[in-house]
């Protein structure tokens, strides 16, 4: 779950950003001034910071200078959000280490897209991920699944469902939660679609699909990957 810290003194704007990010699954922290932001950043440990330039008392550029001068936050990407339209303000912000500059008023959808783009661009190279539990083996890099050493051919969404549940073992997820995490923004998918894919997945990876040992049903709620398993190992 990516963590975004919002530094914004206008509560309406801060609330709007928080609402849209949390809806997309982000963990959001916030501060209405620079001093509070600096005090919270070390403990919140954000993956990205949005920073208003026109803050009370401590100005945004001073906050940015502190962020980039602190070993704990210097590598955290920053998106400046400001009503300052002068080219010199943009250039100064970017030269001081900001990764993007968004002008007010702005589209929240565009801001969220820019946040995602910056996070993709600054994300560290992923480490190799593998998983093995009982007779099930998964290689996330090559999108390969084996059962008792034999390759199992899954559809893209079957693999995504399996990966999502495997990466969150021991936690039950409702159909809606699986839809939101696997299909994401596809608004035309019905919750029962999850059941269809789970049934198909079980016929492929379970020895007896009527008594599953990997993906179990939580009656009246949804599904859970066997709570006795562990998360994928990283090599």
Q: Rounded to 5 degrees, what are φ and ψ at 186?
A: -75, 100
pLDDT for residue 16:
95
CATH (one of 3.55.50.30, 3.40.190.10, 3.30.465.10, 1.10.10.10) for 129-234: 1.10.10.10
Strand order in the sheet with 222-225: 173-174, 222-225, 215-218
| Whether CATH 3.40.50.2300 fits 3-122 | yes
Query: Please, which residues bridge with residue 130 across strands?
Result: 139, 233
Least confident among 12-16, 66-70, 191-195, 226-230: 226-230
Strand order in the sheet with 136-139: 150-152, 144-147, 136-139, 129-133, 233-234
Q: State pLDDT tens for residues 165-210.
A: 999 988 999 998 998 888 875 556 777 889 999 999 999 999 887 8
129-234 matches 3-122 in CATH topology? no
pLDDT at position 131 over 80: yes
pLDDT for residue 51:
96
pLDDT at position 65 over 80: yes
pLDDT for residue 191:
76
The beta-strand segments (E) located in 3-53 are 3-7, 27-31, 48-52
Give the ranges where 45-155 is alpha helix by DSSP (H).
Answer: 60-69, 87-95, 108-122
Q: What is the C-alpha separation between 33 and 7, in angstroms, rounded?
A: 7
Q: Which long-range contacts (CB under 8 A, 24 or more apart) does 209-212 make?
A: none
Q: Rounded to 5 degrees, what are φ and ψ at 152?
A: -110, 125
Domain edges within the chain? 3-122, 129-234
Tally of helices (H runs) and strands (E runs) in the chain = 8, 13
Percent of the chain whose predicted confidence (pLDDT) is above 90: 69
This prediction's pTM:
0.55
pLDDT band at 57 (very low <50, low <70, confident <90, very high): confident
Question: Cα–Cα–Cα angle for 181, 140, 25, nearest 5°?
Answer: 20
pLDDT for residue 231:
75
Q: State pLDDT tens for residues 114-128.
A: 999 999 888 776 666
């Amino acid at each position: 779950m990516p963590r975004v810290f919002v530094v914004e003194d206008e509560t309406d704007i801060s609330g709007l950003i928080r609402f849209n990010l949390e809806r997309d699954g982000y963990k959001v922290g916030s501060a209405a001034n620079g001093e509070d932001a600096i005090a919270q950043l070390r403990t919140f440990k954000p993956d990205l910071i949005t920073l208003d330039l026109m803050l009370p008392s401590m100005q945004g550029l001073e906050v940015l200078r502190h962020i980039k001068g602190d070993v704990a936050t210097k590598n955290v990407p920053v998106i400046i959000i400001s009503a300052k339209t002068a080219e010199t303000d943009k250039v100064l912000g970017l030269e001081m280490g900001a990764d993007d500059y968004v002008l007010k008023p702005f589209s929240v959808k565009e801001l969220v897209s820019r946040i995602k783009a910056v996070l993709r661009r600054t994300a560290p190279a992923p480490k190799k991920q593998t998983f093995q539990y009982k007779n099930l083996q998964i290689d996330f890099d090559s999108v390969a699944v084996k059962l008792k050493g034999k390759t199992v051919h899954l559809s893209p969404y079957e693999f995504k469902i399996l990966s999502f549940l495997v990466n969150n073992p021991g936690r039950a997820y409702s159909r809606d939660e699986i839809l939101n995490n696997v299909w994401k923004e596809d608004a035309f998918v019905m919750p029962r679609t999850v059941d269809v894919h789970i049934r198909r997945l079980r016929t492929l990876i379970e020895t007896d699909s009527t008594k599953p040992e990997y993906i179990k049903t939580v009656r009246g709620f949804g599904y859970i990957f066997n709570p006795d398993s562990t998360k994928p190992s990283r090599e």
